[in-house]
């Protein structure tokens, strides 16, 4: 069974204190790993897609990386506005032939000023 595990469940940082969030996965035939950001009371918003080991994507203070077993979301010098829940999802082929994403439980990030 495909599994996606995110750690830590919650993370508190001081403004400017860099850190990383982890997403480990066990799927057969990975066809993309996605990172989303979710603010309270809102739906998740897309951040990055990674398709192959070694790939990296960057956006402002965020950088996502991918290996064959896990992905990291690095946050450099975070600001309070980076506070949110970060979700990881992996996409693999299902029995019926469709590619459906499976989500991890998320990491809740709070950045204190």
Interface with another protein (CB under 8 A):
9, 31-32, 34, 36, 41-46, 49, 87, 89, 91, 96, 98-106
Tell me how far, at minimum, the Cβ of 54 lies from another protein, in Å: 18
Tell me how far, at minimum, the Cβ of 65 lies from another protein, in Å: 18
Closest CA to 107 of 32, 78, 31, 51: 78
Element (H, E) at 91: strand 84-93
Which lies closer to another protein via its Cβ, residue 67 or residue 94?
A: 94
User: For the purposes of burial, counting CB atoms within 10 Å of the CB of 111, is it exposed (0-12), middle (13-18) or buried (19 or more)?
Assistant: buried
Tell me how far, at minimum, the Cβ of 2 lies from another protein, in Å: 10
């Amino acid at each position: 069974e495909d599994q996606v595990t995110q750690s830590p469940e919650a993370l508190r940082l001081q403004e400017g204190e860099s850190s990383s969030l982890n997403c480990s996965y066990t799927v057969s035939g990975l066809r993309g790993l996605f990172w989303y950001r979710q603010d309270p009371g809102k739906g998740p918003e897309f951040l990055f897609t990674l398709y192959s080991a070694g790939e990296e994507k960057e956006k402002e203070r965020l950088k996502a990386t991918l290996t064959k077993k896990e992905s990291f979301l690095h946050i450099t010098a975070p600001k309070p506005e980076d506070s949110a829940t970060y979700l990881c999802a992996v996409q693999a082929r299902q029995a019926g032939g469709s590619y459906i994403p499976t989500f991890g439980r998320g990491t809740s990030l709070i950045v204190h000023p």
